[in-house]
């Protein structure tokens, strides 16, 4: 997991402290850090420092220092740690998009809530399938996927408009007699 940047800043008279020391490095490497709780308990974790160049990503240049804390692993390289954590990013994005598509309800019925989560997962998988099968640009070396062609929220908005258009005829009920006032 990423190690948060904590401790004194580099311009402090006593110098940097905490995990900030690792965040200020300019070269990749390894380290150990001891966390101390307020009640005196201590835990020592291993740290992997991965430095990379921005190369214009996010309109930035220079070095980026990524610090990962781990315990109980023997990683082969800093690049492996970096790539393994990047896989988690996809999982976190899926959960964020799941929350975007999930139906909001105040019911406490667990089966109905589970059904709503299932619908949200189905919608997200349809979005992924559309990008892979329909919207991807075939090219040598694999498909090029452009997620900006159909953002997830736009697809949800289209589905909402379609459902509203289909349900509109049942929205107004004609009365046989005028309502008494």
Q: Are 130 and 155 in contact (CB under 8 A)?
A: yes
Residues in contact with 144: Cβ distance below 8 Å, sequence separation at least 6, in sequence order:
136, 137
* Model confidence at 159: pLDDT above 90: yes
Q: Are 150 and 131 in contact (CB under 8 A)?
A: yes
- pLDDT tens-digit map of 11-35: 999 989 888 889 888 899 899 999 8
* Model confidence at 123: pLDDT above 90: yes
- pLDDT tens-digit map of 74-83: 888 888 888 8
pLDDT of residue 49: 93
* Model confidence at 168: pLDDT above 70: yes
- pLDDT tens-digit map of 58-117: 888 888 899 999 888 888 888 888 888 887 777 777 788 888 888 888 889 999 999 999
Q: Which of 97-106, 127-136, 151-160, 164-173 has the lowest mean pLDDT?
A: 164-173
Can you spell out the DSSP letters for 114-169? HHHHHHHHHHHHHHHHIIIIIS-B--TTS-B--TTSS-HHHHHHHHHHHHHHHHGG
- pTM of the full predicted structure? 0.53
């Amino acid at each position: 997991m990423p190690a948060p940047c904590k401790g004194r800043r580099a311009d402090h008279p006593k110098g940097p402290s905490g995990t900030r020391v690792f965040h200020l490095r300019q070269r990749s490497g390894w380290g150990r850090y001891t966390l101390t709780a307020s009640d005196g308990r201590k835990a020592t974790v291993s740290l992997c420092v991965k430095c990379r160049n921005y190369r214009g990503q996010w309109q930035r240049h220079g070095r980026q220092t990524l610090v990962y804390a781990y315990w109980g692993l023997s990683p082969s390289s800093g690049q492996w740690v970096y790539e393994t954590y990047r896989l988690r990013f996809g999982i976190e994005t899926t959960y964020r998009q799941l929350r975007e598509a999930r139906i909001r309800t105040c019911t406490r019925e667990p089966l109905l809530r589970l059904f709503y989560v299932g619908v949200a997962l189905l919608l997200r998988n349809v979005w992924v399938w559309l990008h892979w099968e329909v919207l991807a640009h075939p090219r040598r070396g694999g498909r090029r996927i452009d997620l900006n062609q159909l953002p997830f929220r736009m697809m949800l908005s289209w589905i909402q408009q379609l459902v509203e258009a289909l349900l509109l005829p049942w929205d107004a009920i004609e009365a046989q007699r005028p309502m008494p006032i």
